[in-house]
Amino acid sequence: MIDATKKWIFLKVSSVVLVPLMLWFVVNLVSIYDKDYDQIIYFFTSQPSKFLFSFFIIVAFFYSALSISEIFEDYLHNEKIKNVANRFLFISAIIIPILTIITLIVLSL
């Protein structure tokens, strides 16, 4: 399979997975909007919310990294700059969700 086809399939699958996660997050964000700090921490550290939010963050960064890499492929013509930008993008798409999940774990201790 061609790499472009794989990227297209991953983009479509991740967008389908992202829709219900985004709906879940928006509904819960509205419900915890006016809560105090302890209730918000409890929400993000309770087991179903912690898992769903972690999965949401991972899928969202995966989707955004694939989308932005397509922009790099289309609009950056210098191969060195394109490669550096893609590497930086993918490294940040791995590190930021990991830091977020570690923060959730630390908050739940």
Residue spans per domain, the chain: 3-108
| pLDDT tens, the chain, 109 aa long | 788 888 889 999 999 999 999 999 999 999 988 999 889 888 988 889 989 999 999 999 999 999 999 999 899 999 999 999 999 999 999 999 999 999 888 877 7
CATH topology of domain 3-108: 3 helical TM bundles of succinate and fumarate reductases (1.20.1300)
- Give the amino acid at 8: W
Q: Decide: helix, strand or coil at residue 36.
A: coil
- Number of helices (H), then strands (E), belonging to the chain: the values are 4, 0
Place of tokens 């996660």: 21
- pTM score, two decimals? 0.85
